[in-house]
Chain A
Amino acid sequence: MTISEATIDSMIAQLDLPKNIMGTLKDDVMKVGVTKKELEDIIERLAASYEYACVEPCEAVGVVSAQSIGEPGTQMTMRTFHYAGVAEINVTLGLPRLIEIVDARKQPSTPMMTIALEHEYATDRDKARKLAWEIEATHIEHLADITTDLANMRLILDLHEKTLIQRALIPDEIAEKLHEELDVMVHVSDSIANQIIVTPNAPSYRELLQLAKKIHFITLKGIEGIKRVVIRKDGEEYTLYTEGSKLKEVLQIEGTDATRTHTNNIGEIFEVFGIEAARNSIIKEATDTLAEQGLTVDIRHIMLVSDIMCCDGEVKQIGRHGISGEKASVFARAAFEVTVNHLLDAGMRGDRDELNGVTENIIVGQPIKLGTGDVHLISR
Chain B
Amino acid sequence: MRKFSLLDHQLIPKHEIMSEDELKSVLKEYAIEKEQLPKVKVVDPVIQEIGAQVGEVVRITRISQTAGEAFYYRLVIA
Chain A residues within 8 Å of B, Cβ to Cβ: 18-23, 251-254, 258-260, 262, 269, 271-277, 280-281, 299-300, 303, 307, 310-314
Give the residues in chain B near A281, CB-CB below 8 Å: 11
Within 27-78 of B, Cβ neighbours of A (below 8 Å) are at 38-41, 44-47, 60, 62, 64-70, 74, 77
B25 within 8 Å of A by Cβ? no
| Interface contact A18-B41, CB-CB below 8 Å | no
Instruction: Tell me, in angstroms, the Cα distance from A253 to B62 when the chains sit together.
Output: 29
Number of B residues contacting the other chain (C-beta, 8 Å)?
30
Instruction: Tell me, in angstroms, the Cα distance from A61 to B2 when the chains sit together.
Output: 44
| Interface contact A275-B40, CB-CB below 8 Å | yes
Instruction: Tell me, in angstroms, the Cα distance from A314 to B38 when the chains sit together.
Output: 11
A274 and B46 in contact (CB under 8 A), knowing A259-B4, A259-B10?
yes
Instruction: Tell me, in angstroms, the Cα distance from A277 to B4 when the chains sit together.
Output: 16
Instruction: Tell me, in angstroms, the Cα distance from A20 to B45 when the chains sit together.
Output: 30
| Interface contact A300-B66, CB-CB below 8 Å | yes
Instruction: Tell me, in angstroms, the Cα distance from A280 to B14 when the chains sit together.
Output: 13
Nearest residue (CB) in A for B11 is A277
| Interface contact A313-B39, CB-CB below 8 Å | yes
| Interface contact B45-A251, CB-CB below 8 Å | no
| Interface contact A274-B39, CB-CB below 8 Å | no
Chain B residues within 8 Å of A, Cβ to Cβ: 1-2, 4, 6, 8-13, 15, 38-41, 44-47, 60, 62, 64-70, 74, 77
A276 and B66 in contact (CB under 8 A), knowing A258-B8, A313-B44?
no
Instruction: Tell me, in angstroms, the Cα distance from A21 to B65 when the chains sit together.
Output: 11
21 contacts between A and B (CB under 8 A): A18-B66, A18-B67, A18-B68, A20-B66, A21-B68, A23-B68, A258-B4, A258-B8, A258-B9, A262-B10, A272-B45, A273-B6, A273-B11, A273-B12, A274-B40, A274-B45, A276-B62, A299-B65, A300-B66, A313-B40, A313-B74
Partner of B9, one of A277, A300, A303: A277
Partner of B41, one of A299, A307, A313: A313
Instruction: Tell me, in angstroms, the Cα distance from A19 to B47 when the chains sit together.
Output: 26
Instruction: Tell me, in angstroms, the Cα distance from A223 to B1 when the chains sit together.
Output: 15
| Interface contact B68-A276, CB-CB below 8 Å | no
User: Which secondary structure dominates where chain B touches chain A?
Assistant: mixed
A252 and B68 in contact (CB under 8 A), knowing A258-B9, A313-B39?
no
| Interchain Cβ contacts within 8 Å, total number | 90
Give the residues in chain B near A312, CB-CB below 8 Å: 38-39
Give the residues in chain A near B65, CB-CB below 8 Å: 299
For the complex of A and B, 7 pairs with smallest distance between CB atoms:
A20-B68, A19-B68, A18-B67, A277-B11, A274-B46, A313-B39, A311-B38
Instruction: Tell me, in angstroms, the Cα distance from A342 to B60 when the chains sit together.
Output: 37
Give the residues in chain B near A269, CB-CB below 8 Å: 11
Q: How far is the CB of A283 from chain B (nearest CB, A)?
A: 9
Give the residues in chain B near A314, CB-CB below 8 Å: 41
| Interface contact B67-A20, CB-CB below 8 Å | yes
Give the residues in chain A near B4, CB-CB below 8 Å: 251, 258-259
Give the residues in chain B near A313, CB-CB below 8 Å: 38-41, 44, 74, 77
| Interface contact B67-A262, CB-CB below 8 Å | no
Give the residues in chain B near A262, CB-CB below 8 Å: 10-11
Give the residues in chain A near B69, CB-CB below 8 Å: 18-20
Instruction: Tell me, in angstroms, the Cα distance from A178 to B13 when the chains sit together.
Output: 44
Give the residues in chain A near B9, CB-CB below 8 Å: 258-260, 273, 277
Q: How far is the CB of B59 from chain A (nearest CB, A)?
A: 12
Instruction: Tell me, in angstroms, the Cα distance from A335 to B41 when the chains sit together.
Output: 31
Partner of A275, one of B10, B44, B67, B68: B44
Residue of B1, B13, B68 contacting most chain A CB atoms (<10 Å): B68
Instruction: Tell me, in angstroms, the Cα distance from A363 to B62 when the chains sit together.
Output: 39
